[in-house]
Structure 1
Amino acid sequence: MSNKEHFSNRWGIILASLAMAIGAGNLWRFPRLAGQYGGTFIILWIAFLLIWSIPILLAEFSIGKKFKKGVIGSYAEMTGKNYAWIGFFITVCTLCITFYYSVVTAWALRYLGLSLSYAFSADNLGEKIATSPEYLETYWNSVSNGSSSTIILYVITIIVAIWLLSRGIQQGLEKASKILIPTLFVLLVIIATIALNMDGGIKGLEYMFSINTANFSNPRIWLEALSQSAWSTGAGWGLIMTISSYSRDKEDVTLNTFVGAFGNNTASLLAGFAILPSVFALSASSEEAITYLESGNQSLTFTVIPKLFADIPGGAWFSSIFFLALFFAAFSSLLPMIELFTKNLLDLQLSRKVSSIIVAVCCIGFGLPSAFYLDFFNNQDWVWGVGLIISGLAIIFAVLKHGAARFKETFIDRDSDFKVPSMYFVICITLNIFLGAILIYWWMSQDYSKSWFNEEGQWDVTGIYSNASTVTQWAIVILVGIVLNRFLYKNFAKNKL
């Protein structure tokens, strides 16, 4: 069955690609890493955009454009009937991320509400923190663990997202992206402008781009740069494959991919321009600023940012703008994630209405544990965050099975006016096999994730960051995919073009 839905024009698909790529990680993870490692990290981050992310995104975009199906169907058509289970793994990996990632939108709304409550009242958050130093930490714990308000906002967000997508591609995802992405960029420019005009703000910008050549010998910086590019751009998620399945037949694969990829990096830099100058301007010393930037991701976003803006004039409004931008970033990424699920159901010949109901039930049901327990959220973030590298390697496998040079000529270059050298694509795809393997090994060798067995000597399947938990969940999905492989190929791929 041919896909009758499509984006109205090139900007529609580009903005949808940006919505997919620009997420919460741009606003909270990139500024921390850029602040921690400075210009050394930024140089490597841009390099890995070209080496890892763009080649994989080119492959994903062209596969989706060619076969016009969801991830399972497109991947099976590309690789053959024996490998539908790999497309299943990519799909489930991204869906598991969808289930917990949607909770971030609710957190952003809770903190937007907190900021606005101080913006519209005579109370001062700085005074509140002075009298109750643990106030923000206590509030964060209440928001992220067992909060009925968080769960209600989470459910509402899912329903609104699915309602938007139920209207179809042009009236749903495309129209939402045309509003969310320009608004997000405007908000980031406003925050950056305010931050850079603070006393000491320029110092943060200078620090962000300072290059310490000695850092190039630190392997951790290389791996952090690779992981940030891999996850921030959405390379290997299957999302761009889903988006491109709605593209027009003559869509330029290479141009769209490059615009989307560099647009994502631009959003990250704007977030860095906003956060780093703010941290330096509002900290007592550079050392204190670095301490803030080296805080954990969630801490930096939900406990440090409100504290930073608590005592400055208009700080509550500044904080409100930041959390509104964070919500837009998280929500814009959530839409393509949900559409990935919907598209696979549409491949089963279900109507969009029925598919939307199934997606709503699954997203709300499987996401509730992450909305209720922060430990469960952190476990899923760890397991499937690392799993995305396996998904990236799966895309590389599909390319190599076809032949990298032949794949580029047949799938990528056919309708592309803008082309990259074939040697560049072939070398990067081959090199990425080793980069992916190294990255997985590195993440699974972290001090807090090395455990395979608990103190009682049992398989540590319940450990938040344990390798046992990670491998067990991966193995279950792979085993189910292999068992269902014939069904998956028959129902998602075979004779349905």
Structure 2
Amino acid sequence: MATSRPSASAPEREQWSSQYGFLLAAIGSAIGLGNIWRFPGVAYENGGGAFLIPYLVALLTAGVPILLLDYALGHRYRGSAPATFRRLGRPFEALGWFQVAISFVIITYYTVIIAWSVRYVGFSVTEAWGSDPTAFFVGEFLQAGDAGVSFDIVPAIFWPLLVVWVVVLIILALGVQRGLERANRVFLPLLAILFTIMVVRALFLPGAVEGIDAFFTPEWAALADPQVWIAAYSQIFFSLSIAFGIMLTYSSYLKRRSNLVPTGYVAAFANSSFELLAGIGVFATLGYMAAQQGVGVGELEGITGVSLSFMTFPQIISLMPGGPIFGVLFFSSLTLAGLTSLLSLLQVVSAAFQEKFGLSRVQASIFIGGFAAILSLALYSTTTGLPVLDTVDKYINEIGVVSSAILMSLLVAFVARKLPELQSHLNGTSTAQVGTWWRVLVAVVVPVVLVVMLVATVINLLAEPYSGYPGWFLNTFGWGVVGLAVLASVLYSVIPWRRPVDDFTAHPVGRPLGRRGTGPDTGTTHGEVTR
């Protein structure tokens, strides 16, 4: 538990230069690959315009509450995920390492998708995929084989993947202000500009109106389908970067006086606004493709995920006037969106190892980031990289992330019983207040909904082999990876800390801002300078 003993040996914690810098980083983390290639397809397959209703409900009842929980935990306990949960109680440290393990697994394959995007920026100029983009992507580019384990390196993947790793590890080694913050100040505005240009261009394509109409036309009967609601909650969790250490770690670098609640609202709604923009742009483009083929938008295939980005969109680019320019815009946007999210995932892992083992930023980048890079290159730049990526992504997100969110909500609410304290902390640092409704959502609504999601997912995975892959393959790269994450979380939690973690005093809980001119009480955590 947190104590009041100061420790002179604790290093001063890094901080964002400003609230704006943190907000850009938070939005950059939330806006990732899933916004562009996952949301439009999920919405279309789950009721079209009607899906926006459960999506908004999920955002308000689960997304925002858990985002604020992450903010409150990180800002109050001023540490990485393992340090923060240990300060709630020593046995809880393992949950922090479980979140680190989830982030570590994700970064090993997330970099690969960014490397694909980088290559496709160049491919767009010459439309190198020819008349059959699907065959080019799976065959000539990835040289994809059946599900299995192969050590046959594909040079076209290996070298750009290596470059991506070098770039992001350099940014990580530069630290919070000089690395993460500066990168997001460049990448996020550039992403917004490029993607907006692409969407505007898509709106003027023949058939764009029909595509947008297909995206927004509601199928009201879908609201009675529990799977639609599960899909909405899934999208929110996967999109907002919550419950696996990212926002918790980012908020730990905020200054003492930080307006947490409004910042959370802005980040959440900025993310959803980008998803809506992505849906409009993607379906305007799909409407053009349907018009060129003389079919309805509903008859098109491959409107989500890898298929949408690397098979369907190249086909559209080949059909449209000025296609190469459109392709460069699309794949550049995909690259930038991936980079901003990847950096946040890397920081979760780096911060945990820096604090646990007394590593510097550079050491963590070289040793921990280097190990992740080696795994990434060994697993995903081979001829079996695609099925491995597909399986790991499915299980670590739908089993690992959802389990982490359930455990975090229940632990904070009912075991550590910290929700009233965290509510007071949010209100004492914010101009907007959260009431009892926040505690009810975190303690009751979120766990119930997520348990239903988790049970439904497990039943489906046990009833039918995912994507028809062999059982041994799914047990190795699906259940096996989740099991390794659990094992690693237990093992790392019993290793002694090289830096002080228990000698810690949380900020005093202040009175709500804006009431009779009062603000939060002053006070510092050891090693931190109040500014």
TM-score, normalised by the number of residues in structure 2:
0.84
Report the alpha carbon displacement of residue 480 of structure 1 after superposing the two structures with TM: 4.0
Report the alpha carbon displacement of residue 286 of structure 1 after superposing the two structures with TM: 8.2
Summarize the Cα distance change of 1:94–1:360 in structure 2 as closer, same or farther, 3 Å threshold.
closer
Does structure 2 retain, via aligned residues, the 8 Å contact 1:94–1:384? no
Letter in 1 for 2:78: K
Q: Distance in 1 between matches of 2:311 and 2:270?
A: 28
Letter in 2 for 1:299: S
Summarize the Cα distance change of 1:135–1:45 in structure 2 as closer, same or farther, 3 Å threshold.
same
Pair 1:141-2:142 in alignment: yes
Paired residue for 1:355, among 360, 364, 370? 364
Q: Deviations over 1:299-319 (max 9, x none)?
A: 111010010121221011101
Pair 1:245-2:252 in alignment: yes
Percentage of matched positions with identical amino acids: 22
Report the alpha carbon displacement of residue 242 of structure 1 after superposing the two structures with TM: 1.0
Pair 1:377-2:389 in alignment: yes
Q: The residue matched to 1:446 in structure 2 has which SS? A: helix
Q: How many correspondences in the alignment?
A: 481
Paired residue for 1:398, among 405, 411, 414? 411
* 1:196 match: 203
Q: Distance in 1 between matches of 2:448 and 2:192?
A: 35
Q: Distance in 1 between matches of 2:496 and 2:27?
A: 30
Q: Distance in 1 between matches of 2:70 and 2:500?
A: 17
Report the alpha carbon displacement of residue 432 of structure 1 after superposing the two structures with TM: 1.1
Does structure 2 retain, via aligned residues, the 8 Å contact 1:404–1:425? no
Q: Distance in 1 between matches of 2:492 and 2:245?
A: 20
Summarize the Cα distance change of 1:75–1:286 in structure 2 as closer, same or farther, 3 Å threshold.
farther
Q: Distance in 1 between matches of 2:137 and 2:33?
A: 20
Report the alpha carbon displacement of residue 229 of structure 1 after superposing the two structures with TM: 0.7
Q: Distance in 2 between matches of 1:469 and 1:157?
A: 24
Pair 1:494-2:502 in alignment: yes
Pair 1:57-2:43 in alignment: no
Q: The residue matched to 2:319 in structure 1 has which SS? A: coil
Letter in 1 for 2:142: N
List alignment gaps of at least 5 residues for structure 1: none
Q: Distance in 2 between matches of 1:91 and 1:476?
A: 12
Q: Distance in 2 between matches of 1:484 and 1:62?
A: 24
TM-score, normalised by the number of residues in structure 1:
0.90
Paired residue for 1:308, among 303, 310, 316? 316
Letter in 1 for 2:70: E
* 1:71 match: 81
Report the alpha carbon displacement of residue 405 of structure 1 after superposing the two structures with TM: 4.7
* 1:289 match: 297
1:218-233, aligned counterparts within 5 Å? 218-233=225-240
Letter in 1 for 2:192: F
Report the alpha carbon displacement of residue 487 of structure 1 after superposing the two structures with TM: 2.4
Summarize the Cα distance change of 1:265–1:494 in structure 2 as closer, same or farther, 3 Å threshold.
same
Letter in 2 for 1:138: G
Q: Distance in 2 between matches of 1:42 and 1:469?
A: 33
Does structure 2 retain, via aligned residues, the 8 Å contact 1:35–1:293? no
Summarize the Cα distance change of 1:345–1:314 in structure 2 as closer, same or farther, 3 Å threshold.
same
Q: The residue matched to 1:390 in structure 2 has which SS? A: helix
* Deviant stretches of 4+, over 4 Å: 285-288, 293-296, 488-492
Q: Distance in 1 between matches of 2:197 and 2:214?
A: 21
Q: Distance in 1 between matches of 2:177 and 2:488?
A: 34
Paired residue for 1:163, among 155, 158, 170? 170
Does structure 1 retain, via aligned residues, the 8 Å contact 2:142–2:157? no
Does structure 2 retain, via aligned residues, the 8 Å contact 1:140–1:303? no
Pair 1:257-2:264 in alignment: yes
Q: Distance in 1 between matches of 2:134 and 2:311?
A: 11
Summarize the Cα distance change of 1:492–1:440 in structure 2 as closer, same or farther, 3 Å threshold.
farther
